[in-house]
Each structure stands twice: as C-alpha cells, then as structure tokens.
Amino acid sequence: MAETEFGRAVRRWRDRVSPEAAGLPTGGHRRAAGLRREELALLAGISVDYVNRLEQGRAANPSAQVVEALARGLRLSGAERAHLFRLAGLAPPGPETVPAHITPSVQRLLDRLTGTPVAVSDATWTLLMANPPYAALMGDPSGWRGNQRNAVWRLFLGTGPGTRARHTPESLPAFETAVVADLRAAAARYPADQRLRRLVAELHANSARFADLWDSGAVGRHVAARKTIDHPDVGPLELDCDVLTVAGSDLHLVIYTAEPGTEDAERLALLTVLGTQSLVG
C-alpha cells in the first residue's frame, strides 16, 4: 500500500469537509474549517487512534469496510472513492458486489432530514449510517461491529443489541418472511459477493427458522407499517415506518415519522432534541 499517499489523501479530503456539511455541530474554536480527526472517526465508526495511524502511514492494509466507511465520512465522489480503494491496495467494489456507497445526492437528502429518524442500510440490511434522531429513537448503533450491524443477523440469531420495535405474533412472521425474501433477492442480484454468501451460509447453519424460510423460497416484501417503538425513557411511540429503496444504488432508507399534532409527535420531537442522553438522572 502507498501508505503515505493514502494518509495524505485522507488528510486532504478531511480538510475540505466542513462539520456543517457532515451534519456535525461547529461549537468551539477551530484552527481549520475541515473535520477534526475525532469527527471523521465518529462518522466512519472507527477509533481516533486508527485515523491517526492511517494518516501518518503507521497502519497498513485497511480493510474494504474501513475504506468504505472513510469514503462515506469524507463525502467522496464515486471517482474519489475508487481512488481511495486503489491507494489502499484494494480493487474498488464492482457491479457484482453489494453497493455500500452513499452517493452525494442521497447524502444531501439525508442532510435535510435532520429532525426525522433515518437509517441507511445496503441490500443485505447491513447498517451503513444512522442519523442522530434514529439513534435517539432506536438506540445508538455506533458501537456495533461486524455482523451486529446486520439486521437479519440480529433478528434470527439474537446476538448483539435487540430492537425497540414491538412485534406481535402476527407481525413477526410476516417481517421475518419479508427480510428473508429481501436477502434472497439480493443474493440473486449479487451472486459473486463473498460477504453476502458467507452471511447466508452462517444464518442457514445457525438458525432453523431462517433455514426453513430460505429453503421454502419464502416470498414477501416490505410495506409501509405502523409500528410501536418501546423507548426506555419516553415510553411507547406509535410511528409510521417507511422503507425506501434507492434505484441504482440499492440502498434501503428506513424512515420513522409521527402524525402531526399527536403525543407521539411531541415525544419524538423531544427525543430529537435530547439525542441519546438518558432522561433518568
């Protein structure tokens, strides 16, 4: 890996991204207009020390997941993202792999939804980013690593953090069927994606319920739903959940909204202001 050039590129692109553009507060004295290392680390979900070592050429061979996360945090274009992969000694993801790049246009859309809980996942339901209102509503995912970030894994294997969304005996089987059908469709679109193949194999080997649905060729789809979210501080919220798929990039946007003028809307607005801090002193 051209370590010094990789580090210089990260530093150069970090310097050009303002905190406002990345959806971060700008409080305090700043020596430069760009992102601080700790801010990039937060956006990419990696440690500040690792960002330091990458920029200084003291860390070699970053994984494709790390490079992808840095590209998202730095708001890189498609060409810049491909260049960063090459500087890391990696082949840029091709059309045969599951897209994990949040395009600038989608990022601009997310930037305008600052008061709305939104999460973005790839076609395998691996979480790519969640905005602060989503973290406040559903729990902070910034510490999730590896398969913990995959919603299918958490649903069927029960490892990692649980969901705050309440399921009924009727809604859970339909939700499971829709998720497996989604994953099956992704596997058909990206048959050469090794990470997706490993995910399916591990789920099939370790979850009888997943294996039954997968082997039966279960067919289902996500539809707009009314969900109850059990929040530990403000109690249950009745919210509308919409899942939007971005044509061309295969990203899933999960968006929660409340009916205006309701108590649910008021409590959701309160959560958005408070963020992830607890109401319990």
Domain match, 82 and 163 both: no
Indicate whether 174 and 218 sit together in one domain: yes
- Asked if residue 280 belongs to a domain, the reply is no
202 and 263 inside one domain: yes
The pLDDT value given to residue 3: 52
Residue 81 maps to which CATH number? 1.10.260.40
Domain membership flag for residue 97: no
Specify whether 139 is located in the same domain as 218.
yes
Domain boundary among 29, 62, 87: 87
**pLDDT value of residue 190:** 92
Residues 110 and 71 in one domain: no
**Contact by Cβ (8 Å): 103, 128:** no
Q: What tens-digit pLDDT sequence spans the chain (281 residues)?
A: 445 899 999 999 999 988 877 777 666 667 767 898 988 988 888 889 999 999 988 887 888 889 988 998 898 988 898 999 999 998 888 778 899 888 888 888 888 888 899 999 999 999 998 988 999 999 988 778 788 889 999 999 986 567 899 988 888 998 999 999 999 999 999 998 989 999 999 999 999 999 999 999 877 777 778 899 999 989 999 999 999 999 888 999 999 999 999 999 999 999 988 775 554 43
194: CATH? 3.30.450.180
Same domain as 82, residue 23: yes
Q: In terms of Cα–Cα distance, which of 218, 244, 202 is closest to 109?
A: 244
In a domain, residue 147? The reply is: yes
For residue 253, with 0-12 CB atoms within 10 Å meaning exposed, 13-18 middle and 19 or more buried, which class applies? middle
Whether residues 186 and 238 fall in one domain: yes
Tell whether 148 is covered by a domain.
yes
Q: Do 112 and 37 fall into the same domain?
A: no
Please check whether residues 241 and 180 belong to one and the same domain.
yes
**Considering the entire predicted model, what is its pTM?**
0.78
Q: Verify that 120 and 189 share a domain, yes or no.
A: yes
Residue 167 belongs to a domain? yes
Last residue of a domain, one of 87, 117, 148: 87
Domain boundary among 87, 115, 149: 87
CA 141 remoteness from chain centre? 8
Do 61 and 191 lie in a common domain? no
Compute CA 44 distance to the chain's CA centroid, rounded to the nearest angstrom. 10
Does residue 42 belong to any structural domain of this protein? Answer: yes
Distance CA 115, CA 257 (A): 10
Number of domains observed in the structure of the chain: 2
Examine residue 26 and state whether it is found in any structural domain, yes or no. Answer: yes
Residue 219: the pLDDT is 76
Query: Does 15 lie in the same domain as 131?
Result: no
Residue 78 lies in a domain: yes
What residue numbers bound the domain in which 64 lies? 3-87
Q: Do β-strands 235-246 and 251-257 pair in parallel, antiparallel, or remain unpaired?
A: antiparallel
